[in-house]
Structure 1
Amino acid sequence: MSELNPERAKMLGGLIEKAREHFGRTKKECAAVLGVKPAEYSKIESGAYSVSLPQLEALALFLNIPMGYFWGSEPLKSEDELDFANLIALRHRVIGVLLSQQRLRSRQSLADLAETLDMDEALLKSYEMGEEPIPYLHLEQICRQLDVSVNYFLDDVHGPLGRHEAKQKLERQFQRMAPDMQAFLINPVNVSYLDTAKKLSEMDVAQLRQVAESLLEITY
């Protein structure tokens, strides 16, 4: 058997290293997934160890990357890093505004709500100003008093959490589908059919009737 291409082995090892670092995984974690010693895993990334296809598959699953990445047909997912400190500070202010709005809708003064909750009025005001973080369990108590769900205070659909929740929902729905339906959805050839289905779902009854009549005319 001819010798393996050392340049290709080094390139493949570099791709593995890049993916691991991209997702913040350690060599020790990847070695454990592959069932090899950390020293052997280091040789994989340097190109000195011949990695097998099942091992590449395991790494793809562990790092949540497409197999096509290893042969250059698909890139790594690039997501903007969040500034969590600023995000949390902003969310505290937004929740404070929402709290104030809901209190006014319920026709309760700051003093009345503070008294009902058996808390200091100044603390409640600092909540509404976004100056003081509201402990989650305390927020639950406030929600019960204002007759509103905690969901009212959640990040909206346009924020990072909203996008995260939408993605999680899509993944759960996909996993509940039958294997043949999953295969249909991920096949690029079927994109045109899905696009047509989407357009049909947006039509009213009259438009759908017109489409049906046109199909009948073509058939007959």
Structure 2
Amino acid sequence: MTETTVHTEERLRLRKRIIGVLLRNARERANKTKQECADALGVSPDLIADYEAGEAEISLPELETLAFLFNCPPDHFWRQDADLIPEPDSPPISDVLTLRHRIVGALLRQARLEAGKTQKELAALIGRSDKVISDYEYGERPIPIVELELLAQALHIPIEHFLDAQRGPLGRIHREREINRRFEQLPIEIREFVTHPLNVKYLEVAMRLAEMEVDRLRSIAEGLLDITY
């Protein structure tokens, strides 16, 4: 075993423990049981305990699913200062896991091809076989998040590239929560203005202006000045 291999294994082991601590923290703050987590993922409570202890490898879609269950942003697991946003009555989300595994795999394959890498090269990076990488890319096997982080680094893309940003139900709901969080941070007078029905037209005009090029905006402003004076 080479020194590089030993270093990689130690790094993966440490990351699993850190993710496990963050996972348990989020679960406890959300007042969820291991059984509830297990039901959402379709696994056993013992496996959830192993995830939290850093003794088992959890995939990104599974982390996203648990983040949804805990009402927290997915990046809570690699950005420790992320806020936990409470939102009751969340719909069931276990049925999207299979789809998410396939999407993450497809994104990995696309990134690998664009980087000109082979499955063998990626396999060597994480100490896996070519067959495992193939299974990852076709969504036939969940990709442990610690391995996905290494693969993302090797392909020079952020881990956020694999998040369900707007590709599916989890992404849309997380996006809505983020919008709600930002809205709550606005001054009360702005929130009142935005939510007043009579101001919708003003907001629509502002949105159209925001999409215009600078030269076009300057032309409109000059036209308004000519009318005014």
Which residue of 72, 92, 106 corresponds with 1:97?
Answer: 106
- Change in Cα spacing, 1:171 to 1:142, as seen in structure 2 (3 Å) is same
**Aligned-residue offset at 1:89:** 0.7
CA distance, structure 1, for counterparts of residue 87 and residue 110 of structure 2: 43
Answer with 130-139 or 95-104: which moved more. 95-104
1:58 corresponds in structure 2 to none
- Tell which structure's C-alpha radius of gyration is larger: 1
2:146 corresponds in structure 1 to 137
**Aligned-residue offset at 1:82:** 5.8
The one-letter code of the counterpart of 2:155 is L
- Change in Cα spacing, 1:63 to 1:118, as seen in structure 2 (3 Å) is closer
What is the 5 A alignment of 1:69-80? Answer: none
SS across alignment from 2:128: coil
Segments of 4+ moved more than 4 angstroms: 62-65
- Greater relative contact order, per chain length (Cα 8 Å cut-off, separation 6+): 2
Contact 2:109 2:137 in 1 (8 A): yes
In the superposition, the TM-score normalised over structure 2's length comes to 0.53
Give the count of matched residue pairs: 144
CA distance, structure 2, for counterparts of residue 82 and residue 122 of structure 1: 33
- Change in Cα spacing, 1:210 to 1:174, as seen in structure 2 (3 Å) is same
Q: Which ranges in structure 2 are unaligned for 5 or more consecutive residues?
A: 1-85
CA distance, structure 1, for counterparts of residue 122 and residue 158 of structure 2: 17
CA distance, structure 2, for counterparts of residue 127 and residue 170 of structure 1: 32
1:84 aligns with 2:72: no
- Change in Cα spacing, 1:126 to 1:209, as seen in structure 2 (3 Å) is closer
1:184 corresponds in structure 2 to 193
The one-letter code of the counterpart of 2:170 is L
2:179 corresponds in structure 1 to 170
1:111 corresponds in structure 2 to 120
Contact 2:105 2:139 in 1 (8 A): yes
1:122 aligns with 2:125: no
1:153 corresponds in structure 2 to 162
Cα displacement string for residues 98-120 of structure 1 (whole angstroms, at most 9, x for unaligned residues):
22222223333222221222123
What is the 5 A alignment of 1:193-204? Answer: 193-204=202-213
**Aligned-residue offset at 1:133:** 0.9
CA distance, structure 2, for counterparts of residue 83 and residue 64 of structure 1: 14
Contact 2:126 2:147 in 1 (8 A): no
Cα displacement string for residues 17-56 of structure 1 (whole angstroms, at most 9, x for unaligned residues):
xxxxxxxxxxxxxxxxxxxxxxxxxxxxxxxxxxxxxxxx
- Change in Cα spacing, 1:177 to 1:213, as seen in structure 2 (3 Å) is same
2:44 corresponds in structure 1 to none
Q: Which ranges in structure 1 are unaligned for 5 or more consecutive residues?
A: 1-61, 66-78
CA-based RMSD: 2.9
**Aligned-residue offset at 1:146:** 2.4
- Change in Cα spacing, 1:145 to 1:170, as seen in structure 2 (3 Å) is same
**Aligned-residue offset at 1:211:** 3.5
- Change in Cα spacing, 1:116 to 1:64, as seen in structure 2 (3 Å) is closer
